[in-house]
Structure 1
């Protein structure tokens, strides 16, 4: 079986310890939307559930939400949709 017939996964190895190289996809459009929502309330649907809160910060791989007095770090790759309130 050739490498092209296999499901997607990183084929490169880390030169330092010969371990598989983990690759996280970045969705620049989702990051851009979330950065524009900093300080605003949003509703986010993830693969695990639903969360409402205020966007505190956004990085390339996660968003920080404040809900009541709790802080949540949500991985961007787990977000299904975002609804500004």
Structure 2
């Protein structure tokens, strides 16, 4: 699963999910041993990470929404995703 960003100990990944259980654009955010799946609209689809870290992920998602949708489109077309700047 390609890593597209990392910040404050959080790893953000996005991958092509043909026939997967989440049928909408989303990211996977991992922090330590926890993982949350968040739609690009900001809805938590599955899992959990500490609330403070989730708030950072949601802020990052809002800032980089256009880039995230562009990555989703690339992956949907079988192309490579690109890195997105971390939250600073």
- Give yes or no for TM over 0.5: no
Structure with greater helix percent: 2
Larger of the two Rg values belongs to structure: 1
TM value normalised by structure 2: 0.27
Structure with greater strand percent: 1
